[in-house]
Amino acid sequence: MPGKRLFIAVFLIPPLLLYGIFVVSPYAQAFQIAGTNWSGLSPTYDFVGLDNFQRLLSDGYFWNALRHNGLLLVLLPVVTILLGLFFASMISVGGRADRVGVHGVRGAGFYRVVYFFPQVLSVAIVGVLWKEMYAPHTGMVNGFLRAVGLDGLAVAWLGDPRFSFWCVMAVMIWMNVGFYVVLFSAAMQSIPRDLYEAALLDGAGRLTTLVRLTVPLVWDTIQVAWVYLAIIAIDGFAIVQIITDGGPSSSSDVVGLRLYKTAFADGQFGYASAIGVAMFFLTLTVAAMFLRVTRRERVEL
Amino acid sequence: MFLAGWALLTTLPLLWAVLSSFKSDTEILTDPWSLPSRLRWENWERAWNEAHIGRYFLNSAIVVTGALTLTMLFGAMAAYVLARYRFRGRRIVYFAFVGGMMFPVFLALVPLFFVVRNLGMLGTLPGLTLVYAAYSLPFTVFFLTAFFRTLPTSVAEAAMVDGCGHFGLFFRVMLPMARPGLVSVGIFNFLFQWNQYVLPIVLMQGEGAEKKWVLAQGLTALAVNEGYRGDFSGLFAGMTIAMLPVIAGYLLFHRQVQSGLAAGQLR
């Protein structure tokens, strides 16, 4: 057909150019810069091979940050998915059977809308909001604790190395649960109602129904949720940077923040790229491990 | 009831921020749970003008408008060609785009900074616009390619017989037919770009860049500065200004937003 080649070229080349310049080339360069001692300001740099990676192995700050990412990787998906499943099952099948059968609780639509609020807000708003929530004198958290007479518990949440990391993790759970409630309850909508009625007739309680019936049927969705929460856990940069900036004394540091500071505060661009490359391979490893572990038989309906 | 408890947990902090934006600083300092004694709009005015939230809001609007237009146009063009035409290298191009979804952004941050600097676009709105659009392309292309494949071929053939060229076919027939897909992916991209934080803090630094800051970035800077100056009410007002339009838009279109975002995650 005449003009077909021209058409394809006109439609494909501009997007490819934009994509190549700003996305593909930086990723490719990351690997190259990781092998240098470039400080960014100097025009010259030396190729240092794997020195950056060797330095990484003995870098206490890096390991400290990595440990926090590891904790997030384990706890964030577990807690978020459990809460999500629990709320979603309450919303979609929590109202027990009556004459019209098993259905959702009253106000299900309202809950779905409200739970989703944190998801549409930017991480900057969530971060700043919670930083104020945790503030020792003016924050809502301590205000509540004092109001109910627990003055002893009203501590400087973000200023204490024992609590700061957990406070940030709580915010990450808070901002993500709503999305998975909506996702899981959408998945649960497609489960035939009569299965629930049968379970009810067999005398299964809510918990048994959730564990034995609902979870196997939405297992695919749970896997997807796990992957996305794992990605959030490996990153975590923005929310940590805004709420605690990794402090006090690196007690809430994560690898993404380490990379950012190494590059843009210390100017060690070669080393920062090496951190990025290391994280890249860690991500791949985690993904591969995950795929092996979750090979579980699918339930056919 | 647990459900109501979590509903409170998601709404109370937001409500608290809105209420605090009307309080005076002394009210905020004495009791975080008290109600404001009157509506102090002057806090909002201060945040909008003196704390430059207004300017950041405008910058965000400019960048997102430009980037969203570019993303949707380029994304639809590439996806359409990839879905509807056979040519050599088609699969490679497709996987090059889609592969971009799998890499964490922070791997690319350092080189991206220098790419943008070498182009002389560091700390400029056009630079940020192009970067936003580029990083939105993988998902947009992926989603729209699948969508264009589902559209019936008969309409396209009929239009071709009627003497419609390739370009006319795309703009007058296929784009209108793809509307539902474009809306979903558009909402997803809008939120992704409007809420973007990592890209602007890396790319909008350097001399004079703070005039070009976007909302997310301006707000966190405000939080750091107001902490020193003690203007808490101004900070809450800024936060509320940043928060309300998104919440209002969400309440209006909550069905589309939820399905758009769900489609985005289930890629």
pLDDT of A160-215, one tens digit each?
Answer: 888 889 999 999 999 999 889 988 888 888 788 788 888 878 877 777 888 888 88
Pairwise CA distance, residues A103 & A101, whole Å? 6
Mean pLDDT on B20-26: 80
The answer to whether the beta carbons of residues A235 and A69 sit under 8 Å apart is no
- Label residue B228 by pLDDT band (50, 70, 90): low
Q: DSSP letter at A181?
A: H
pLDDT score, position B23: 81
Q: Which of B96, B219, B262 sits opposite A128 (nearest CB)?
A: B219
A298 has pLDDT over 50: no
pLDDT score, position A301: 43
Contacts of B223 in chain A (CB under 8 A): 128, 131-132, 242
B109 has pLDDT over 90: no
- 3 state SS for B202-235: HHCCCCCHHHHCCHHHHHHHHHHHHHHHCCHHHH
Residue among B106, B116, B241 with most chain A CBs within 10 A, to mutate: B106
Contacts of A259 in chain B (CB under 8 A): 106, 109-110
Which residues are CB-neighbours of B211 under 8 A, at least 6 positions away?
Answer: B55
For the stretch A78-99, what's the b/e string if a residue is b when 16 or more beta carbons lie within 10 angstroms of its beta carbon? ebbbebbbbbbbbbbbbbeeee
- ipTM of this predicted structure: 0.85
- Label residue A94 by pLDDT band (50, 70, 90): low
Taking the Cβ of residue B235 and every Cβ of chain A, the question of whether any pair is shorter than 8 Å is answered with yes
> Which among A87-91, A134-138, B46-50, B252-256 has the top mean pLDDT?
A87-91
- The number of CA neighbours under 13 Å toward the Cβ of B242 is 37
Residue at token pair 């929590």: A94
Contacts of B119 in chain A (CB under 8 A): 21
Q: Which run of H or of E encompasses A97?
A: strand A95-98
- Please name the residue of chain A whose CA is at the shortest distance from the CA of residue B73: A15
Residue among A4, A10, A12 with most chain B CBs within 10 A, to mutate: A12
Determine whether the interchain pair B75/A23 forms a contact, defined as Cβ–Cβ distance below 8 Å: no
Determine whether the interchain pair A132/B236 forms a contact, defined as Cβ–Cβ distance below 8 Å: yes
Q: What's A62-293's CATH class? A: mainly alpha
Delineate the domains of chain B, giving CATH numbers in brackets. Answer: 39-265 (1.10.3720.10)
For the stretch B43-71, what's the b/e string if a residue is b when 16 or more beta carbons lie within 10 angstroms of its beta carbon? bbebbbeebbbbbbbebbebbbebbbebb
Determine whether the interchain pair B251/A182 forms a contact, defined as Cβ–Cβ distance below 8 Å: no
Q: Which run of H or of E encompasses A101?
A: strand A101-103
Taking the Cβ of residue B209 and every Cβ of chain A, the question of whether any pair is shorter than 8 Å is answered with no
Determine whether the interchain pair A113/B78 forms a contact, defined as Cβ–Cβ distance below 8 Å: no
Contacts of B196 in chain A (CB under 8 A): 122
Q: DSSP letter at A158?
A: G
Determine whether the interchain pair A260/B77 forms a contact, defined as Cβ–Cβ distance below 8 Å: no
Taking the Cβ of residue B78 and every Cβ of chain A, the question of whether any pair is shorter than 8 Å is answered with yes
The answer to whether the beta carbons of residues B187 and A94 sit under 8 Å apart is no
Bigger pLDDT: A225 vs A247: A225
Determine whether the interchain pair A127/B220 forms a contact, defined as Cβ–Cβ distance below 8 Å: yes
pLDDT score, position A299: 46
- Please name the residue of chain B whose CA is at the shortest distance from the CA of residue A11: B77
Q: What's the one-letter identity of residue B174? A: M
Q: Which of B110, B195, B223 sits opposite A131 (nearest CB)?
A: B223
Pairwise CA distance, residues A256 & B106, whole Å? 7
pLDDT score, position A79: 96
pLDDT score, position A96: 55
When the pLDDT of each residue in chain B is averaged and rounded to a whole number, the result is: 84
pLDDT score, position B267: 46
Q: Which of A40, A124, A129 sits opposite B13 (nearest CB)?
A: A129
Percent above pLDDT 70 for chain B: 94
Residue at token pair 């474009």: B182
Tokens for A48? 């240092």
Residue among B107, B128, B144 with most chain A CBs within 10 A, to mutate: B107
Tokens for B137? 């392309």
Quick: pLDDT tens for B125-175.
999 999 999 999 998 999 899 888 888 888 888 888 888 888 888 888 888
The answer to whether the beta carbons of residues A23 and B135 sit under 8 Å apart is yes
Domain boundaries, chain A: 62-293
pLDDT score, position B3: 83
Determine whether the interchain pair B196/A143 forms a contact, defined as Cβ–Cβ distance below 8 Å: no
